[in-house]
């Protein structure tokens, strides 16, 4: 690897380290906020914006150069095989290196952008943290009250359902009793009509 691609790969490894460092769960947002508010980090951030833009420009330039190299070595039909039989392997080797450099520059550029976003979002986590925790507590309380209301509503529904069943059974019993009394009444009327004849 040439010096420029070694520097880009080192830059990529440093970015991966910082991204993984920001992902460590046992470092609280409060501590990250203290770290980001420290004098050293503030000084780096003050002068770092220009250096960040320069690094981004260099990475974009190297990514474009890697695209150009891949395009240049992708054409293997133009290689003259009569004078140099190992030319195909040499072209494939250069194509592999160009593709590797393309991926390194692309991932370094992507992580550079994500690292900047993470550096902005992590300190804001402390500001959002207590609000989110309070919101979580209120939502848990609401869920608890809604579950209690649901239980009482279920009990009331079961009670009214059993009352409806009892009323239906009572109505059926009354209908049967009414039919029995009606039959008895008609028998008595029929027997009284026979006596009066």
Confidence of residue 39 (pLDDT cuts 50, 70, 90): confident
Read off the pLDDT of each residue in 69-74 and give the average, rounded to a whole number. 84
Return the pLDDT at 145. Answer: 92
Return the pLDDT at 168. Answer: 92
Winning range, highest mean pLDDT, from 42-46, 122-126, 138-142: 138-142
Pick the more confident residue, 84 or 162: 162
Q: In this predicted structure, which of 11-15, 105-109, 123-127, 137-141 has the lowest mean pLDDT?
A: 123-127
Q: Is the pLDDT of residue 4 over 70?
A: yes
56 touches 109 (CB < 8 A): yes
Q: DSSP character for 38?
A: S
Q: Is the pLDDT of residue 2 over 70?
A: yes
32 touches 125 (CB < 8 A): yes
d(CA 108, CA 9): 8
Return the pLDDT at 143. Answer: 92
106 touches 63 (CB < 8 A): yes
d(CA 39, CA 77): 59
Q: Is the pLDDT of residue 60 over 80?
A: yes
d(CA 6, CA 9): 5
Span 130-173, pLDDT tens digits: 677 788 888 899 999 999 999 999 999 999 999 999 999 999 99
108 touches 101 (CB < 8 A): no
Averaged pLDDT score across all residues of the chain:
83
d(CA 137, CA 132): 9
Residues in Cβ contact with 91 at an 8 Å cutoff, skipping those fewer than 6 apart:
73, 76, 79
């Amino acid at each position: 690897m040439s010096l420029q691609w070694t520097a880009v790969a080192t830059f990529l490894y440093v970015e991966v380290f910082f991204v993984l460092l920001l992902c460590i769960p046992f470092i609280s947002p409060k501590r990250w906020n203290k770290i980001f508010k420290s004098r050293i980090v503030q000084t780096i951030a003050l002068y770092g914006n220009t250096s960040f833009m320069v690094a981004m420009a260099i990475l974009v330039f190297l990514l474009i150069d890697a695209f150009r190299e891949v395009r240049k070595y992708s054409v293997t039909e133009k290689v003259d095989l009569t004078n140099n039989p190992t030319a195909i392997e040499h072209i494939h080797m250069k194509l592999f290196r160009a593709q590797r450099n393309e991926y390194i520059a692309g991932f370094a550029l992507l992580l550079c952008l994500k690292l900047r976003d993470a550096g902005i979002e992590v300190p804001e986590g402390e500001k959002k943290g207590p609000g989110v925790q309070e919101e979580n507590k209120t939502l848990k309380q609401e869920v608890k009250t809604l579950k209690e209301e649901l239980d009482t509503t279920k009990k009331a529904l079961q009670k009214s359902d059993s009352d409806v069943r009892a009323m239906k059974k009572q109505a059926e019993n009354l209908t049967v009793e009414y039919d029995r009394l009606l039959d008895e009444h008609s028998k008595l009327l029929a027997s009284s009509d026979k006596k009066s004849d």
